[in-house]
Amino acid sequence: MEISFAFPQIFLIGFILFPAIIILFFVHYFSQKKNIFIFTEAQLIDKITLSKIGFKKFFLYSLDFLIIIVLFLALGRPQYPISLPVSGYAVGIIIDISGSMMATDFFPSRIAVAKDAAKVFINKLKGNFEACLVTFNNNVFVNQSLTSSREDLLLALAQVDANYGGTAIGDAIMTTLAVLEGSNMPHKVIVLLTDGENNYGIDPIIAAQRAKDKKIPIYCIGMGTSTGTYIPGIPYPVRIDEGTLREIARLTGGEYYWGNSSANLEKIYQKLAEKVGKVKKNQDISSLFAGFALLLIIIKIMINTLFVRSIEI
């Protein structure tokens, strides 16, 4: 549960106050327990289960302490992120078309599987949207400029094919950001798929920082198997640079996904089609904490009324 606090300084105050409160609770508890033996008449002691009284008092003091903690947390204004649909959004769809995308560890090839999954993504986009299609190897290509037409996007996607060349992830992000600047939509997002490591052009982290400055999250998909794949002319297996992709996602407020099979890749794109049209906002839930504290107070009153008073001395 991703709970944050609008006033995290409350924990600094708690760090100072709670040790003192705990000490006071124990001092009061043991002094009350001692008083039972001092002030109770001898003939009444046999009629009272002292251990039972002690347990009940300890339980009530613990309940008091829990109530204070919950109310204290409520003062920190706890926030819970919720996803809300936006009135309009623009999506930059980026697909790697470098030489490794011709690999056949995905049947019939990586690029064919990537295109099929991206087709599912395009068909599931909802609401008021615009999208562009950008592909890259060591060069970057804008296959489809911003459009609200699924047909145009699917036609551009059908013409995409892998080719030899390097992997310019950073350049692809920068180009997509430039395309998205032409949209008036209030929310913008990038969905990036790649199967390799950046080896050409601008550093992807620098490009991600630019996206962060523009408040554009990047959802990264690493396509490939855990063992990587061999490409003719390269003496080592080509692997996903998961570290860089995770950092791009973290830095921009997006997410990273590993597409290790055709079915998994399709599920990822289906999930992203639901996410891109929404934005996360923090919902104040301090009232829930306050309500829980009130419930604990009512429980304490009921216990005190039904059980404790019957054995008061």
- Sign of torsion over alpha carbons 43, 46, 49, 50: positive
pLDDT of residue 50: 47
- Average pLDDT of the residues of the chain: 85
Q: What is the pLDDT of residue 313?
A: 47
Q: What is the pLDDT of residues 171-224, one digit of tens each?
A: 999 999 999 999 999 999 999 999 988 999 999 999 999 999 999 999 999 998
Asked if 165 and 98 touch (Cβ cutoff 8 Å), the reply is yes
Mean pLDDT to the nearest integer, 86-94: 95
Same domain, residue pair 76 and 139: no
Domain that holds residue 51: 4-80+284-311
User: By C-alpha distance, which of 130, 52, 8 is closest to 313?
Assistant: 52
Residue 34 has pLDDT above 70, yes or no: no
- 50 with 198, same domain? no
Answer yes or no: do 146 and 231 share one domain. Answer: yes
pLDDT at position 30: 64
Which candidate, 26, 199, 185, places its Cα nearest to that of 92? 185
Do 107 and 229 have their domain in common?
Answer: yes
Matching residue, tokens 């306050």? 290
Question: Does 16 score more than 90 pLDDT?
Answer: no
Q: Supply the DSSP string of 114-136, one letter for each residue.
A: HHHHHHHHHHH--SSEEEEEEEE
Residues 200 and 225 in one domain: yes
Query: In this structure, are 249 and 108 located in the same domain?
Result: yes
- Predicted confidence at residue 4, as pLDDT, reads 80
- CATH code of the domain covering residue 121: 3.40.50.410
Q: Which residues pair with 80 in a beta bridge?
A: 283
For residue 239, the surrounding DSSP H or E stretch is none
Q: 97 and 66 in one domain? A: no
299 plus 229 within the same structural domain = no
Does the pLDDT of residue 38 top 60, yes or no?
no
pLDDT of residue 72: 82
Q: What is the pLDDT of residues 47-68, one digit of tens each?
A: 455 455 556 777 777 788 888 8
**Taking Cα atoms as reference points, which of 93, 97, 142 lies closest to residue 118?**
93
Of 211, 278, 222, the C-alpha closest to 245 is 222
Domain count, the chain: 2
Say if residue 134 is in the same domain as residue 218. Answer: yes
Model confidence pLDDT, tens digit, residues 101-153: 988 889 999 999 999 999 999 999 999 999 999 999 999 999 999 999 999 99
Q: Which residue has the higher pLDDT, 236 or 246?
A: 246
What is the spatial distance between Cα 95 and Cα 176, in angstroms, rounded to a whole number? 11
**Is 141 found in the same domain as 42?**
no
Is the domain of 9 the same as that of 151?
no
158 and 240 share a domain?
yes
